[in-house]
Amino acid sequence: MKRVMLIVSYDGTNYHGWQIQPSAATIEGMLNKAICSLTGEAIQVIGASRTDAGVHALGNVAVFDTESRIPAEKFSYALNQRLPEDIVIQKSLQVFDFFHPRHCDCKKTYEYTIVNRAFPLPEYRNTAYFYYGTLDLKKMQKAAEAFLGEHDFAAFCSAGAQVQSTVRTIYSLEVVKDDIEEKIRIRVQGNGFLYNMVRILVGTLLEVGKGAILPEDVEYIIASCDRAQAGPTAPAKGLRLLQIEYPFALDNCSK
């Protein structure tokens, strides 16, 4: 038996999110099917981030155990032959047997894209949120500073989430706009995110950009631990999981 880790990229447009569902196409469902078809084993992957419907990924992580004699690093090639073109394995490798993608410390990086101009850009119609109103970028950048560091982010968590602690640490949060496309990119890195946390954070920064929330008030919104104080949950399609980094050598295992 070996434990194989996959780095998975996908365009989430045509899927009902990561998590397997009986009668809808999901990323997890497609991966299980491709792995079963390849190995003949009834395998269910464990994902690092169970992204919502419409959310995209450059580098989500999944692991599974297999008795297959296919070398771990060859799984990427073999699975990509069996996956549709909107799901691509970027890398496969053997990891140590007790590695669990959700129960290990890690750094996650998400990116949210807002097309902020008079009309939408066709190329980004499935991968960005379009907002035509004026957004004050400087205010959004100022407000972003309040999120840095360790905080209780209970105000930035959708109801129904079952977590032991709502304390998380944000290492960096950048808000930048490019001139030609007029696209605002919000990139955030932290040691983990609560359910819908990035989308609520973005929804709050959007309210700041519109002038509905003052940048100085964001620290009080965080301190309130009250979901009702934060902005709305920004639409899923603008969100992309960029990468997950683990602080140890994953391939520290007997091959």
Catalytic residues: 52
Please report how close the Cβ of residue 172 comes to a copy of itself at its closest, in angstroms. Answer: 13
Quick one: which segment of 121-129, 136-144, 165-173, 215-223 binds a copy of itself (CB under 8 A)?
121-129
Q: Which is nearer to a copy of itself, 98 or 119 (CB)?
A: 119
Q: Within 13 Å of residue 216, how many CA atoms lie on the same side as its CB?
A: 0
Q: Is 73 helix (H, G, I), strand (E, B) or coil?
A: helix
CB 45 within 8 A of CB 95: no
3-class DSSP state for residue 106?
Answer: coil
- The three-state secondary structure class of 228 is helix
CA distance 168 to 191: 6
The pattern of x and - marking residues 34 through 63 that bind a copy of itself according to CB under 8 A reads ----------------------x-x-----
Helix then strand then coil, % of the chain, to nearest 5: 25, 30, 45
Is 85 near a copy of itself (CB under 8 A)?
Answer: yes
Q: How far is the CB of 18 from a copy of itself (least distance, A)?
A: 14
Residue from 32, 76, 196, 204 touching a copy of itself (CB under 8 A): that is 76
Would you tell me which residues interact with a copy of itself (CB under 8 A)?
9-11, 56, 58, 76, 80, 85-91, 109, 117-123, 125, 127, 180-181, 240, 242-243
